[in-house]
Amino acid sequence: MTYCRVALDVPLAGPFDYAVHEPLALGDRVIVPFGRRRLIGVVLQVDVVPQMPLEQVRAVEQVLRDLASLPEKWLALTEFAAKYYQRPVGEVMLPALPVQLRRVSSYEGKRAGLEGPLARHRSRQAKQVPKPAPQSVLPVPALPLNAQQQAAVDQVTAADGFKAFLLFGVTGSGKTQVYLAAAHAVLARGGRVLFLVPEINLTPQFAKALAQRLAAVVQPDQVALLHSRLADGQRLAAWLEAYEGRARVVLGTRSALFTPMPDLDLIVVDEEHDPSYKQQEGLRYSARDLALWRARQEGAVVVLGSATPSLETWRHAQRGDYQLLRLDQRATEAVLPTIEMIDTRRLQLNKGLAPQLIEAIGQALAQSRQVLIYLNRRGYAPVLHCDSCGWVSQCDHCTAYSVVHRVSGHYMRLHCHHCGAQRRAPEACPDCGDPDLKPMGHGTQRLEQHLAELFEQATIVRIDADSTRRKGSAQALFDQVHDGRADILVGTQMVSKGHDFTNLGLVGVLNADSMLFSQDFRAPERLFAQLMQVAGRAGRDGQSGLVMIQSGYPEQPLYQALKNHDYEGFAQSLMQERAEAGLPPHSFQALMTAQGPELKDVLAFLQTVRASAQSWLQANGLADAVMLYDPVPLRVVRVAKVCRAQLLMEAPVRAALHRLLQLWLPSVGHRHATRNLSWQLEVDPLEI
């Protein structure tokens, strides 16, 4: 009998020791007793000396032999993620596996011991009607690359072993062609490629381009898609294809970063600046950052692509950690769109739209070109308001306005975008009885209505989280735009990512100012990236495009840089500001967010935590190495009746911060039952 150490998906530090009677390898999956439950775990160490009295050590019940042991590189990747982001290793490792492989119930019941989910999966595939030959793909020859694109491809494919590149190119400069040409070369040599894209809605479009362009070097069934909207069976099938090495290309959103693949040669992270690479719950990891770690570990090449790189990535490129590859020109003959600011201060707006913008929309429509109006605020209006007494629609559970949504005709509902609570809009003011309640401001629904009134002949399509709730509806709406069956497209951020609208002549941007003066120091960086991305939708395929941005602050440097398509100048001035303020990327941060029913308890708890961290730092001679800010309530302090506050920790050197987290953090208890408090920690937080 020997002892092994096992990672389990439980919110305790772990790993846990078990006795075992048969030979085991690292990465084997085992069924073990845990408390009164049985759980599937992953073996992290074998032949260990148990850390508890031998009589307390329980035995492994079953070793699951249906899958080859998880590879050591994968174990190392998940262990690193757990350590870096301060989570128990099992909470990282197990959720990264398909659900059938980590749920004991898959191996229980009348067929227990006879067959597991993999045997069922395989037998289902073999009996079933023979799989139709994979749909043949019409190969699309490579577009001729311009000199810069070719140079970029040459650099990427010449790299031997680990190397990181930043492919910096304006929207429309043909970054995708560079990814595909590099992937083509890698696949032709027998290698494997992992593609990460920021947005689920882009995967079908990208998968098609990939299959067409790479048809000479991979079969369609050698491309595996992995993202969060797959059904469990589909995910298992795709994951196995990658795991067992049949897939040569894996394409997916951030969670695909954890897909085990033998011999990975190239990782592409498209739109590397996109916030969706950061998971916002559970393991709060950055798939972009882990991609760098994974590439180094695999001896692979990693290409980060963006028109507006994150300042973290830009700094690495400036220092030469990543090699900078520039694409300055738009591919094909397309020219950069003209960006105009509309100063709204002295203007009479017509239903939120400036007269110049209305005129430009009319002109574009007269030329049979499509128009995109970008408003990053869904619903009908941000708030319902009573003129007589000043009442405004507030969520009962949150310190936030309830947003007006139009259901049909004039029927209104109030939705809270924070907790999801919904109710009928009152017919009269609840405070003074005035029946004349007014929606204030504009959301995409109201904008759609106004545009329909102004341009009666135009077909208008709205794309936001509400209009695309049903499965497949986003694709149908995008298809309608691509096929030319839409004249005006109204959309939130969903429309700005990656979609190519070939006939788009005009982009109008409303309400950009709302992000200009945010307290979050990353807001200008995000706003610039968003606007650059949405502006880049205009004027492709050789036709010029016009972008009009309505603003009350057109002289702001951010807008001026945008007008000049000057990311580099903008990045330089932001970098300067961050350096002076000691903010990332010139420092490293961790953020503790605590929540509970009473704000004063939450703040008091964070004060205690802060004092404890402070004394740990002093005792370890690190008092000046890590700065601990005063705990502050979140901007929306109460959500679903729970109050939230944050404690920010910051250090000029990453090592000091991580020493604090590794050595001191475990002393902070996880649950505070008396006051009903809980907390999470986020390393490298994106939103503060």
Report, in Å, the least distance between residue 686 CB and Zn ion.
23
Per the omega criterion (within 30 degrees of 0), is the bond before 585 cis? yes
- Closest C-alpha to 464, from 380, 364, 352, 360: 380
Rounded to a whole number of angstroms, the minimum distance from the CB of residue 435 to Zn ion is: 10
182 versus 404: smaller Cβ distance to Zn ion: 404
How far apart CA 310 and CA 330 sit, in angstroms, is 21
> Cα(306)–Cα(522) distance, rounded to whole angstroms?
17
Complete DSSP assignment for 643-684:
EEEEEEEEESSHHHHHHHHHHHGGGS-SEETTTTEEEEEEES
Using the minimum distance from each CB to Zn ion, give the nearer residue, 384 or 628. Answer: 384
Site for Zn ion in 578-637 (CB under 5 A): none
CB of residue 26 to Zn ion, shortest distance in Å: 47
Within 8 A by CB and 6+ apart from 25, the residues are: 43, 46, 69
Find the length of the chain.
688
Per-residue x/- track, 415-454, Zn ion (CB under 5 A): -x-xx-x-------x-xx-x--------------------
CA 93 – CA 87 distance, rounded (Å): 10
DSSP β-ladder status, 37-46 and 2-7: antiparallel
**Cβ distance to Zn ion smaller for residue 48 or 421:** 421
Could you give the string, one character per residue 23-42, with x where binding to Zn ion holds by CB under 5 A and - elsewhere? Answer: --------------------
H or E segment and range at residue 32: strand 29-34
* Amino acid at residue number 113: G
d(CA 373, CA 352): 12
Widest CA span in the chain: 84
Asked if residue 120 lies in contact with residue 128, where contact means CB atoms within 8 angstroms, the answer is no
Query: For Zn ion, which stretch binds (CB under 5 A), given 386-394, 510-518, 522-530, 585-593?
Result: 386-394
Kindly tell me which of 380 and 616 has the beta carbon lying closer to Zn ion: 380
**Local structure of residue 92 (DSSP, 8 states):** H
CA–CA distance, 501 with 478 (Å, rounded to integer) = 9
DSSP letter (8 states) at residue 471: T
| Given 80, 391, 455, 521, the residue binding Zn ion (CB under 5 A) | 391
Q: Contact 452/373 with Cβ under 8 angstroms?
A: no
Instruction: Tell me which stretch binds Zn ion (CB under 5 A): 408-416, 535-543, 609-617, 649-657.
Output: 408-416
Nearest distance in Å: CB 427, Zn ion:
12
Query: 599 or 683, CB closer to Zn ion?
Result: 599
Kindly state the DSSP code that residue 286 receives in the 8-state scheme.
Answer: B
Q: Which residue lies nearer to Zn ion by CB, 386 or 535?
A: 386
Full DSSP string of 294-359: HHHHHT-EEEEEESS--HHHHHHHHHTSSEEEEE-SPSTTPPPPEEEEEE-TT---BTTB-HHHHH
Q: Which is nearer to Zn ion, 54 or 432 (CB)?
A: 432
Q: Is 266 in the site for Zn ion (CB under 5 A)?
A: no
* Residue 421 C-beta: closest distance to Zn ion, Å: 5
Provide the minimum distance between the beta carbon of 439 and Zn ion in the complex, in angstroms, as a whole number. 15
Minimum distance from residue 515 beta carbon to Zn ion (Å):
22
The CB-of-293 to Zn ion minimum distance in angstroms stands at 38
CB of 641 to Zn ion, least distance (A): 9
295, 334, 395, 626: residue in contact with Zn ion (rule CB under 5 A): 395
Task: Name the residue with tokens 């907790």.
Answer: 419
Q: Which is nearer to Zn ion, 396 or 630 (CB)?
A: 396
Alpha carbon dihedral 176, 179, 182, 187, in 10-degree steps, equals -110
Q: Specify the stretch interacting with Zn ion by CB under 5 A; choose among 76-84, 298-306, 411-419, 628-636.
A: 411-419
> Cα–Cα distance between 588 and 302 in angstroms, integer?
23
Distance in Å, CB of 416 to Zn ion, minimum = 3
Q: Which is nearer to Zn ion, 388 or 618 (CB)?
A: 388
Nearer to Zn ion, 416 or 451 (CB): 416
Residue 288 DSSP code: H
**Which alpha helices (H) appear in 30-106, and where do they start and end?**
72-84, 89-93
* Chosen residue from 307, 311, 386, 642 binding Zn ion by CB under 5 A: 386
Q: Which of 68, 389, 476, 663 binds Zn ion (CB under 5 A)?
A: 389
Q: Is residue 14 a contact partner of residue 91, using CB atoms and an 8 Å limit?
A: no
Q: Least distance from C-beta 431 to Zn ion, angstroms? A: 5
Q: Of 47 and 387, which has the nearer Cβ to Zn ion?
A: 387
**With respect to Zn ion, which residue has the nearer C-beta, 416 or 657?**
416
Query: Binding segment for Zn ion among 62-70, 284-292, 334-342, 397-405 (CB under 5 A)?
Result: 397-405
Q: Per-residue contact track with Zn ion, 483 to 522, x per CB under 5 A?
A: ----------------------------------------
Among 7, 267, 398, 571, binds Zn ion (CB under 5 A): 398
Q: How far is the CB of 125 from Zn ion (least distance, A)?
A: 46
Rounded distance, CA 134 to CA 119, Å? Answer: 23
The contact mask relative to Zn ion for 73-102 (x = CB under 5 A, - = no) is: ------------------------------
Each residue 342-381 as x (binds Zn ion by CB under 5 A) or -, in order, gives ----------------------------------------
Span interacting with Zn ion, options 167-175, 320-328, 390-398, 524-532, rule CB under 5 A = 390-398
Among 395-403, 543-551, 593-601, 608-616, the segment contacting Zn ion (CB under 5 A):
395-403
What minimum distance in Å lies between the beta carbon of 307 and Zn ion?
A: 36
407 versus 432: smaller Cβ distance to Zn ion: 432
> Could you tell me the smallest distance in angstroms from the CB atom of residue 434 to Zn ion?
5
| Nearer to Zn ion (CB atom), residue 550 or residue 593 | 593
By C-alpha distance, which of 254, 279, 283 is closest to 91? 283
Angle between helix axes 175-188 and 203-213 (nearest 10 degrees) is 50
The site for Zn ion, by CB under 5 A, has a size of: 15
Q: Which residues of 399-408 are buried (b: 16+ CB within 10 A; e: fewer)?
A: bbbbbbbbee
**Closer by beta carbon to Zn ion, 37 or else 641:** 641
Residue 386 or 477: the one with the smaller Cβ distance to Zn ion is 386
Q: Among 38, 326, 397, 586, which residue interacts with Zn ion (rule: CB under 5 A)?
A: 397
- The reply to whether 388 sits near Zn ion by the rule CB under 5 A is yes
Beta carbon nearer to Zn ion, 437 or 606? 437
Closest CA to 497 of 519, 468, 455: 468
- Residue of 480, 411, 415 whose CA lies nearest to 443: 415
What is d(CA 480, CA 503) in angstroms, rounded to the nearest whole number?
A: 13
Residue 274 and residue 224 in contact, taking contact as beta carbons nearer than 8 Å? no
Q: Which residues bind Zn ion (CB under 5 A)?
A: 386, 388-389, 391, 395, 397-398, 416, 418-419, 421, 429, 431-432, 434
